[in-house]
Structure 1
Amino acid sequence: MKKVLTIGIAAYNASTTLNHTLKSLLIPEIMESLSIIVVNDGSTDDTELIAQKYVDKYPTIVKVINKENGGHGSVINKLIEIVDTPYFKLVDADDTVEKIGFIDLVNKLSITKADVVLSPFFMYDLKDNKKQLVGYLNSINKYERNKVVRFDKYYQIIQPALHSLTYSTKLLKNSGFRVDEHCFYEDTEYSLYYFLNCKTILLLDEPVYCYWIGSTTQSVNIQNRLKRRSQALRVSYSLISFFENNKKNMDNAKEIFYKNQITGVLSFDYQLLFALLNGKRAKYESQEFDLNIKRTSPELYEYVDKGNMGGKKVGKVIKIFRKNNWNGYIFLHFCFRKSIVNKIKMG
């Protein structure tokens, strides 16, 4: 059977979760259509041993690559180099796939030529065992389900995320883009860069991915986000650089898409800095971040309150701070920091 999809698994010290991930993928009806590559990113636990057991049992399906630790981004870059099936999907080693949706995805991939495939996904909160369905459009309007559509018809309402994405391998390889290595939150780059040359999208309505959240060790945990905020900002600066370097090649739809998406990320970063416990520190870092955006991309700097990715309110507040030389920031920080923290936890 011809293989149509490579599943790349980023695995670092994943001995407690990797079995769960691999079992969810190895569905008899479709597994011969898959190539599953586990990239062991310098783990110090039994990740390699667990992966090798699956290689031994499913030698035509599962492979393992061992490499020095380079972070999630290095795994993505490595996988894009070696993937040789028509489509590629990234799955983290502490997540799973949904059986019905995954079977549907693989079957659809065998008959499509779309550049990108988007599918809903679940977020499963380990703390309260709640499972929430998440879409990939920021609109409740009807859309063309299970059909290939043009990017320029949907560019204003797409909300791409790693968990919703399956890419054409040709699109990935021809782009030449690499995401940041030794850095958290680079999945935002992975979710955006490759849309630059996207023309067609297959819109699916069955959830494929299950994103397990609630662990204190995850990078999206609020305390980890605050500790690693410099890495979140590094990703934002990379996105800004990407926009500035490639906007000459963007048509109107792509330019608006990237302005919306990137200013949405910037708005989240302003909120992250606002969530710092010390008001003076929060003000200083927010001003510094704001000035860096102004220096590197005056266009995005001015657009920060115009995007439609949930950042308009934050952008308007930032523009008020700019006009008032950031006066009143510490008072508002005192009044609203807790609500911002709770918002980040929920988001």
Structure 2
Amino acid sequence: MKTISFAVPCYNSAAYMDKCIESLLACGDDIEIIIVDDGSTKDDTPQKADAWQEAHPGIIRAIHQENGGHGAAVNTGLAAAEGLYFKVVDSDDWLDENAMRQVMAYLRSQLERDHATDLVIGNYVYEKVHEGTRTVMGYFNVFPTEEEFGWKDVKHFRQSQYLLMHSAIYRTELLRETGLKLPEHCFYVDNIFVYVPLPFVDTMRYLDVDMYRYFIGREDQSVNESVMMGRIDQQLRITRFMIDAVRLPDDVVEPKLRRYMLNYLSMMMCICSIFCRMIGTLEADEKRHAIWEYLKENNPGAYGAVRRSALNVGTNLPGELGRSLGISGYHLAQKVFKFN
């Protein structure tokens, strides 16, 4: 068995995919890299994927499919994965070689265990290459650092701290057991990936190393502010999926996990509200009201806590004052936490 399967969704990624793949190859020979060419037509991504497979048989596989979006590419990678663990690495990002030595050593130690750790967590780094800056997002204040642990051992997450696809390495069979299938033709599916499986996770291990390097700054990037406004319907779609997938508090027994998932859902609702208010049209405001009504009707146990959360109290104040306060709060958070 391979220690880990890396899925690399690629869509017209020829200009930057090589750096990503080279960083994965440095992890050793007991890995597999599944390059999923998601219907690329504008460059030579398909040819590059095939060339990588030819150069590294037994390690790299190239899979070509019709365009289905990031979620479809992750689904394909998971279906094909043969490793004990599974990690998604976007084609414009990369993994740090020194950090991965420690991560791989731990993953290898799980191969002979009857019950391998469900979720392995590392830090991620916002790499604003064009600005020459980086921001490390770590969890040393949240998780024990020297042992396997469960949700009861988790400390308090700060408002800016969430588990992202960048920081997560799941046990492959756990993901399959959840029946996880991400929506196709939709951005922001990474939120589902690090939210829906959590109630199935019993054991975790945190390594305080800066594992994942998240490139940020391209104009067409999905987290670009203007792009996010243009894709507000997709953000709303993902949030509705999450509302339906886990009923809070009923579906989550562990109190600390329940609190974390409520905070995550609050963050998603805040993003929906803020970007609807940024758009500023009557239609966008109707969409903002509609997503809150959807939460109230479809996940009523979560509605009160999410609505009263610190993220959403000011975000949804009525009138132009409420709109201005919500947008100002978002831009302040941008400066403090250095995202997009």
TM-score, normalised by the number of residues in structure 2 = 0.89
The Cα of 1:248 is off from its aligned counterpart by 4.5
Q: Deviations over 1:259-315 (max 9, x none)?
A: 222122112222222222x36455433223222222222222211155xxxxx3332
The Cα of 1:58 is off from its aligned counterpart by 0.8
Asked whether 1:293 is paired with 2:292, we answer no
- SS of alignment partner, residue 179 of structure 1: coil
* Aligned positions of 1:113-124 closer than 5 A: 113-124=116-127
* Aligned positions of 1:1-347 closer than 5 A: 3-27=2-26, 30-44=27-41, 45-112=43-110, 113-136=116-139, 140=141, 143-154=143-154, 157=157, 159-244=162-247, 248-253=250-255, 254-276=257-279, 278=280, 280-305=282-307, 312-317=309-314, 321=317, 326=318, 329-334=319-324, 337=327, 340-341=330-331, 343-344=333-334, 346-347=338-339
The Cα of 1:4 is off from its aligned counterpart by 0.4
Residue 340 to residue 36, structure 1, CA distance change in 2 (3 Å):
same
Conserved 8 A contact 2:274-2:315: no
- SS of alignment partner, residue 194 of structure 2: helix
Residue 316 to residue 247, structure 1, CA distance change in 2 (3 Å):
closer
Among all aligned residue pairs of Structure 1 and Structure 2, give the percentage whose two residues are the same amino acid. 23
Q: Distance in 1 between matches of 2:39 and 2:185?
A: 12
- SS of alignment partner, residue 246 of structure 2: helix
Conserved 8 A contact 1:243-1:258: no
Residue 298 to residue 155, structure 1, CA distance change in 2 (3 Å):
farther
Q: Distance in 1 between matches of 2:325 and 2:199?
A: 41
The Cα of 1:81 is off from its aligned counterpart by 1.5
Q: Deviations over 1:156-208 (max 9, x none)?
A: 53721010000001211111121211111011000111112100001101111
Report the RMSD for the aligned CA atoms in angstroms.
Answer: 2.2
- SS of alignment partner, residue 260 of structure 1: helix
The Cα of 1:39 is off from its aligned counterpart by 0.4
Q: Which runs of 5+ in 2 are unaligned?
A: 111-115
Q: Deviations over 1:57-100 (max 9, x none)?
A: 11111110000000000111122222111111110011111011
For structure 1, which segment, 231-240 or 284-293, has the greater mean C-alpha deviation from structure 2 after superposition?
284-293
For structure 1, which segment, 58-67 or 148-157, has the greater mean C-alpha deviation from structure 2 after superposition?
148-157
Residue 252 to residue 22, structure 1, CA distance change in 2 (3 Å):
closer
Aligned to 1:309: none
For structure 1, which segment, 127-136 or 164-173, has the greater mean C-alpha deviation from structure 2 after superposition?
127-136
TM-score, normalised by the number of residues in structure 1 = 0.87
Amino acid at match of 2:293: L
Conserved 8 A contact 2:314-2:325: no
Amino acid at match of 1:110: R
Q: Which runs of 5+ in 1 are unaligned?
A: 307-311
For structure 1, which segment, 334-343 or 189-198, has the greater mean C-alpha deviation from structure 2 after superposition?
334-343
Q: Deviations over 1:184-237 (max 9, x none)?
A: 101100011111210000110111110000000111000110000110011010
Q: Distance in 1 between matches of 2:252 and 2:145?
A: 27
Q: Deviations over 1:296-342 (max 9, x none)?
A: 22222211155xxxxx33322257x4xxxx3xx22332566456356
Residue 256 to residue 242, structure 1, CA distance change in 2 (3 Å):
same
Q: Distance in 1 between matches of 2:6 and 2:167?
A: 13
- Number of aligned residues: 327
Q: Deviations over 1:76-134 (max 9, x none)?
A: 11222221111111100111110111121111101132100000011100330212111
For structure 1, which segment, 333-342 or 39-48, has the greater mean C-alpha deviation from structure 2 after superposition?
333-342
Q: Distance in 2 between matches of 1:237 and 1:9?
A: 26
Q: Distance in 2 between matches of 1:117 and 1:334?
A: 40
Residue 290 to residue 79, structure 1, CA distance change in 2 (3 Å):
same
